[in-house]
Structure 1
Amino acid sequence: MTADPYPGYAWLREHDPVCPVDDPHVPGRTWLVTRYDDVRACLADRRLGSGAPVNPDPHPPGLSNLDGPQHAGLRRLVAAAFTPAVVSRLRDRTARTCAHAVESFAGRGRADLVAEYTREVPVAVVHDLLGVPEAERAPAADVLDMWYRAKFQQPRDEAKLTEVLGYVRRLVAYKRSHPGDDLPTRLIESGALTGDELEVMVMTLIGAGHITTIQFLGTTILRLLGHPDQRAALLDGDVDWSQAINELLRLDSPDHVAEYRYAGEDLTIADARVSEGDVVLLSLAAANRDPNKFPDPDALDLTRDARPHLALGHGAHTCLGSHLLKLQTEIAITTLFERLPDLTLDIPSGDIDWGYAPTFRGPKALPVTFTPSLARLPTVDGRVCAS
């Protein structure tokens, strides 16, 4: 992915807002939609389905690939675990996770925040949500690599898909033999899902629960490093966290495109004639910088009311984990900058290597320097202890 795709998005919005694109990985014709009003309307248009006409996977479709009553029924099974009240119970544990991660490199004076922080925290938090103890988890780098290559890379890596399925099956088997006060246990005890459906649900929750947040934490840190005055206002409490996070999501949408939509009938989007069976790609990132919706859209303004942004979707498939993402972001950013107030990017921002295209966009590494400081948490043999 180009380091800055936004000029291209701007050109498309102005000159070709619903344009045919070449996608060798899907059959038929594919359209890319870039204007805010069109993208928002498409996200709620029932004529654009989320399920491929032919399911290419050896397992049942998950939440992101279903529509109508099937989707609504599955969503109801898990929605209660993602309410603000329930997510808030993870606050203390998330704070400990963030603090331990920062302490692991605070004494060195330099770190790669992607490898050591923005990747570690979301993977830990989603496993906490699912009641999976540390001893049963794969390393965070392996989790990201498995899910990206198996589920989001095109063409997907079939060996990694097999690896993901094996990992999920092990976790489900563990929860069957070690029930707890967690979502997988409740799903198992409800009997509402078959074994395959349960595995797909866990697979979906882990994937959605970490890969977007990893990208967003990286871009958020980068933005706040580049805007010290706005960062200070946020950390001093002069800007509301929820408002700031919505603006950061708008400016740097971690998901650049929504999941594929499939036209169930002939329809018109803007002036484009889309035929039944065509694939429609909805550019959330382009929509969120549409100047007709957001004045001065390329500027970061933490005081902006960016709530109409589409970074977390719209309609029936709006992201279930929005409250969890926002909780993690507030805690992770506060912990990092309060602990290491002189944090500085160690390379020019223009040299950042961006990755995870075409679906996502985030820095692949964030090398930083800071004044080394002694760990504040108890250690054994130089390692930070779990609390």
Structure 2
Amino acid sequence: MSTDDAVLEQLPKLEEVFDPSSDEYCNNPIKQCMALMERGPFVFYEPWQAWVMTDIGDIMECWRKEYLSSDFYDWEFAPPRPHEDDWGNFEKALIGHSLVSDHDHHRLIRKVVSPAFSRNVVDEIQRRIEPDIDKLFDAMGSPKSFDYITEVAEHIPFITITRLIGVPEKYWDEIKPLLENFTETWNPTISEERREEVRQQCNRGIDMIKVVIEERRQSPQQDDFLSTMLDIEAKNEKFTEWDIITLVLALIGAGADTTLMAQQWSVYALTKHPDQRQPALESAETFSNAFSEIMRWSLNSKMGFARYAPEDMDVLGQRVRKGQLVLLMPHLCRMDPVKYPNPEVLDVKRNFDPDVQFGYGPRYCIGAAMAKRQLFLTITKLFERFPNIELAEEPERDSSNHNSIALKKLMLKTNV
């Protein structure tokens, strides 16, 4: 037995020192994250029946080489992969879509749709959603205090995604459950009953996306995301309607739950540290860097990025069985003083090189710039409306979210 193995044997079981569902983790995740990192670069976590990759260099290499699968149905505990004849909307999206399809098709999709995420398009989306955000603040008026989460943050993902895609307001009620629940469908920790419930909600929501696409075929709109996608479809025979649908789902997956968390933690951080507001909000570019620092400082992640072993294989010196879950957890190092000097300090000018907040390599989130822009716009509006705003109270944290530490409320005093 090596010295390292002997030391590990004397340590308490990993589940005794690392439990992201616990109140202890919710209130102070730093100690538990560091305890997990100290176990090594690749460790097995029994409660999740998953391997955890902890080192940022290894994670970047995994993203770059793509030697693990992103396909949920490759998971050893996934329901049986249905035959293509039995696919519903959900299966067509999850099995065949460009997020988990073969690498060549994924690269094709990224190449042909990249113009739809250009700087000009992002500027146009900001112009389109700005009146809706103004309307939110106008309806609020000038209260002495308010809960930012219920009054603002919960509305932003829905406004942004529906305006971006071009979903008519008459369909908003039917699309909304899809936005709220899609990311939960591939969470490996939920019950099968809950998975089936959200699967059916997704089936209904995708039906409505099909209706919207057909309407847009009949009446294209300039600078509308769906119209742009339909133009790409007409010019590329390998790009199909299902690629359009799954890109919409990708935007939902990246922009719904994630955006809600980003909204509350960004406002909390900049309200708690008023000296950081001006350098963070100087421009969309400065906010892009500030956002990475806010997410590092908040350390609100729980699970990371799910991957699956496509075959029996060796990973970082460990034998991994086909189908086993591997979680890439780049957030674990965010409070490591070696990588981030004075990690407890919020410094929006901190340098990130590389910045892996939205992934890395071929799987880097194609909508990252769009997500940060709507966040920048909303927070800028908040501080313009209420320049003297401050925390009314320290928010209580909520451990119930499956993927992130949330805030139960974010009460702000306007001091108007």
TM-score (norm 1): 0.83
Q: Identical aligned pairs, as a percentage?
A: 24
In 1, Cα distance between the equivalents of 2:107 and 2:366?
A: 12
In 1, Cα distance between the equivalents of 2:108 and 2:324?
A: 27
Residue 223 of structure 1 corresponds to 269
Give the CA deviation at 1:96: 2.3
Whether 1:165 and 2:203 are equivalent positions in the alignment is yes
Residue 85 of structure 2 corresponds to none
Structure 2 residues without counterparts, runs of 5 or longer: 1-20, 75-79, 83-89
Residue 397 of structure 2 corresponds to 352
Residue 190 of structure 2 corresponds to 154
Residue 130 of structure 2 corresponds to 95
Residue 37 of structure 1 corresponds to 57
Give the CA deviation at 1:364: 4.2
Q: Is the 8 A contact 1:49 1:67 kept in 2?
A: no
Q: Is the 8 A contact 2:177 2:202 kept in 1?
A: no
Q: Any runs of at least 4 consecutive aligned residues in structure 1 with deviations exceeding 6 A, and if so which?
A: none
Residue number among 223, 229, 236 corresponding to 1:187 in the alignment: 229
In 1, Cα distance between the equivalents of 2:265 and 2:174?
A: 22
Q: Name the SS of the counterpart of 1:157 in structure 2.
A: helix
In 2, Cα distance between the equivalents of 1:209 and 1:313?
A: 14
Q: Is the 8 A contact 2:185 2:198 kept in 1?
A: yes
Change in CA separation of 1:64 and 1:174 when aligned onto 2, cut-off 3 Å? closer
In 2, Cα distance between the equivalents of 1:205 and 1:82?
A: 11
Structure 1 residues without counterparts, runs of 5 or longer: 373-387
Higher share of residues assigned helix: 2
Q: Is the 8 A contact 1:127 1:206 kept in 2?
A: no
Residue 381 of structure 1 corresponds to none
**What count of residue pairs does the alignment treat as equivalent?**
364
In 1, Cα distance between the equivalents of 2:315 and 2:368?
A: 31
Residue 308 of structure 2 corresponds to 262
Q: Is the 8 A contact 2:69 2:309 kept in 1?
A: yes
Residue 376 of structure 2 corresponds to 330
Change in CA separation of 1:139 and 1:213 when aligned onto 2, cut-off 3 Å? farther
Whether 1:274 and 2:309 are equivalent positions in the alignment is no
Give the root-mean-square deviation of aligned CA atoms. Answer: 2.8
Q: Name the SS of the counterpart of 1:48 in structure 2.
A: coil
Whether 1:369 and 2:405 are equivalent positions in the alignment is no
Residue 123 of structure 1 corresponds to 158
Q: Is the 8 A contact 2:175 2:205 kept in 1?
A: no
Give the CA deviation at 1:105: 1.6
TM-score (norm 2): 0.78
Q: Is the 8 A contact 1:64 1:259 kept in 2?
A: no
In 1, Cα distance between the equivalents of 2:176 and 2:91?
A: 25
Matches within 5 A, 1:1-387: 1=21, 2-22=26-46, 29-51=49-71, 52-53=73-74, 55=81, 58-59=91-92, 60-138=95-173, 142=177, 144-152=179-187, 154-155=190-191, 156-178=194-216, 179-181=220-222, 182-189=224-231, 190=233, 192-235=238-281, 240-252=286-298, 256-264=302-310, 265-269=312-316, 271-349=317-395, 351-357=396-402, 359-371=403-415
Q: Is the 8 A contact 2:300 2:406 kept in 1?
A: yes
Higher RCO (C-alpha 8 Å, min separation 6) = 1
Q: Is the 8 A contact 1:32 1:281 kept in 2?
A: yes
Q: Is the 8 A contact 2:63 2:361 kept in 1?
A: yes
Q: Is the 8 A contact 1:354 1:364 kept in 2?
A: no
Give the CA deviation at 1:331: 1.1
Change in CA separation of 1:116 and 1:286 when aligned onto 2, cut-off 3 Å? same
Q: Is the 8 A contact 1:106 1:340 kept in 2?
A: no
Q: Which amino acid aligns with 2:30?
A: Y
Structure 1 stretch displaced more, 287-296 or 126-135: 287-296
Give the CA deviation at 1:144: 4.7
Q: Name the SS of the counterpart of 2:308 in structure 1.
A: strand
In 2, Cα distance between the equivalents of 1:79 and 1:99?
A: 29
Give the CA deviation at 1:212: 1.4
Q: Deviations over 1:205-245 (max 9, x none)?
A: 222222212111111111111111122443467x9333322
In 1, Cα distance between the equivalents of 2:248 and 2:388?
A: 39
Q: Which amino acid aligns with 1:47?
A: Y
Give the CA deviation at 1:159: 2.2
Give the CA deviation at 1:296: 2.6
In 2, Cα distance between the equivalents of 1:62 and 1:364?
A: 34
Q: Which amino acid aligns with 2:137?
A: V
Give the CA deviation at 1:250: 3.1
Q: Is the 8 A contact 2:63 2:360 kept in 1?
A: yes
Q: Which amino acid aligns with 2:199?
A: L
Q: Is the 8 A contact 2:117 2:367 kept in 1?
A: yes
Give the CA deviation at 1:286: 1.0
Structure 1 stretch displaced more, 136-145 or 258-267: 136-145
